Amino acid sequence: MQTEVSGRTTARRPPDRKARIVAAAADLFREHGYHNVSVTDVAAAVGITAPALYRHFRGKPDLLLQVVQRTIAAVSQSVEESADLESYLRSSAAQALERRGSAVLWQREARHLPTESREELRHTLGDIAGRLGALVHAERPELEDPDLQLLSWAVLSVYGSVSWHRTSLPRRRFEDLLYRLARATADCPLGTRPTAPDKAVPPTGDYAGLAVSRREEILVEAIRLFDERGFQSVSTDDIGEAAGASGPSIYKHFPTKSDLLVAAVLRGGEQRRAGTAQALAQAGTPSESVDRLLRSYIEFALDQSHLLGLLIGELSQLPEKERKAARQAQREYLALWVHLLGDVRPGLDTAEAKIVVMAVLTVIDNAARTARLGRRPDVSDRLAEIGTAMLLAGSVGAAS
């Protein structure tokens, strides 16, 4: 604007600058990871200087907190504004595509927040699931609270699943498919697969039974810490302290921290491949093959939740050769699912099949990594029921 005294032009600060900073930071954190983004990067994306950004945020940790809080607040608003389950499912299908990628922020990047902030966010997410559970209960009053919690988290996972892949469809078809998957989840009959009387609570993925050598102890603790804090937030001293070993002794077994991550990711891939091979070793109908593959993944996710976390969130930290190999293995695993699902549902569009499979795997991943759900003694059978309902949910026609 023009001043009367000097005649100089002064730039007017945009009223939405703070929101623009948060949006830019969200995109950068999601695409590159918190540790790989600087305040200067965020400022440049908005077209301002770093000092100008600090007028709105105390630093990068404060900016991450604002990003995650706003992401979760948008999910909370969706539930609060829905009069019933049907309206929530319909509106969230559209909003999930508008906010595509947002789940990555609170499932992967929120690990870098202080403990107190993470706990507050967990409580907020729990409240969201509770309110969604009330909407489910209004339609299904026979369900008790544990089942309402499981279905609520599963529905949230369906919509969050689009954050973890880039497969797309025409907008209307995509929304309809997400709605159908979420509706199949919310309507899924539970208890149709009786749990065996001697079924135990799933292992926690700590490899206690395998930790028989110093090398194994070090790897076990590295897997846990990399998952809980993120690769870049963990030092070899942290790993040594957790394993009861000095820093130098770690290098006798793993020359670098990257070698630890490579060994961990290789282990995760090998265990998943072994379970898959065992599940598909015997002949059967296409439906039986899909069921056994589903069961094998559920078992892997519940037994090795920390390894699962590395396969989900830390592949980008691998050296280039190992990163390419790991991502190729992920693509091949998804392709196997799509092929087998195509045998069960002939004519199913490949892109739709990928979206369906990713939604199923995300529901399982999140349940395995949510303590209150993973501790259920019957969680394996309940996830099998939900996964089957989603895999068999009606296909979206091209004319939808």
Q: How far is CA 356 from CA 138, 273, 332, 387, in A?
A: 27, 21, 16, 10
Which pLDDT does position 16 carry in this prediction? Answer: 84
On whether the CB atoms of residues 134 and 358 are closer than 8 A, the answer is no
What does the buried/exposed string (b/e) look like for 300-309 if buried means 16 or more CB atoms within 10 Å of the residue's CB?
A: bbbbbbbbbb
What pLDDT, on a 0 to 100 scale, did the predictor assign at position 225? 95
What is the rounded distance in angstroms from the CA atom of residue 53 to the CA atom of residue 374? Answer: 41
Q: Looking at residue 110, what DSSP letter applies? A: G
How many CA atoms lie less than 13 Å away from 134 in the CB half-sphere?
9
Model confidence pLDDT, tens digit, residues 175-234: 999 999 999 999 999 998 765 444 444 444 444 444 458 889 999 999 999 999 999 999
Res 7 pLDDT > 50: no
Who contacts 146 (Cβ-Cβ below 8 Å, separation ≥6)?
376
The tens digit of pLDDT for each residue in 262-300 reads 999 999 999 999 999 999 998 889 999 999 999 999 999
pLDDT in tens, 137-163: 999 999 999 999 999 999 999 999 999
pTM equals: 0.88
**Structure-token pair, residue 40:** 């200067």
Alpha-carbon distance of 291 to 354, in angstroms, equals 17
Domains defined along the chain, listed by start: 17-142 (1.10.357.10)
Nearest to 329 by CA among 371, 289, 272, 386: 272
Please name the residue that has the structure tokens 């969230």: 92
In 3D space, the residue among 74, 186, 66 whose CA is nearest the CA of residue 135 turns out to be 186
Q: What are phi and psi of 347, to 5 degrees?
A: 90, -5
Please give the structure tokens belonging to residue 140: 């299904």
